[in-house]
Amino acid sequence: MLAVQKSSTDQGSTEKVPGGNATCVKVSMVGAPYLRKVDLKNYNSYHELSDALGKMLSSFTIGNCGGTHGTKDFLNESRLVDLLNGTDYVPTYEDKDGDWMLVGDVPWDMFVESCKRLRIMKGAEATGLAPRAMEKCKSRSFK
């Protein structure tokens, strides 16, 4: 069973800059009960970001640590394995033009400059078979 892994990096970076930080972006994941935030300046490569997101998103299995019942139900073990193996989960980002793009196509620095928000989609959502998900994504006001 995975222990809770709280990344102090992203929480620390958002607390450090009261006025907000241009490189701090929200991270959402399909089916997740809440968002997270990361400061892209804390990473130097896609690999580092990928590792951090993997740890961050695995923290949704906090059933052992007194998490809410809803959170425990969110991610059962088999889906977690899918997440960690990267199968069927598509990392995407919204850029400054409001377009959703696949993470990893451009050099890291260019990505950091243009990334406004991250979203880990399921394969079907990414290929457009679930277009309503994007409308919800765009219109939803994240808490």
Partner 1 sequence: MDWPRANSPLEHSTSSCHRFTPQDCDEEADGVQSKERRAYVKVNMDEVIVGRKICILDHGGYSSLALQLEDMFGKQSASRLRLFQAGSEFCLFYKDREENWKTVGDVPWKEFVESVKRLRIGRKSKSLLSYSPTFS
Binding residues (CB under 8 A) for partner 1: these are: 46, 50, 53-54, 86, 89-92, 97, 99-111, 121, 125-128, 131, 134
Nearer to partner 1 by Cβ, of 72 and 106: the residue is 106
97 phi and psi angles, rounded to 5 deg:
-85, -5
Q: Which is nearer to partner 1, 67 or 90 (CB)?
A: 90
Q: How far is the CB of 139 from partner 1 (least distance, A)?
A: 15
State in angstroms the smallest separation of the CB of 16 from partner 1: 27
Dist CA 108 CA 111 (whole Å): 5
Task: Report the residue number, 55 or 72, with the smaller CB distance to partner 1.
Answer: 55
Cβ-Cβ contacts under 8 Å for 27 (sequence gap 6 or more): 35, 36, 37, 38, 53, 56, 57, 117, 118, 119, 120
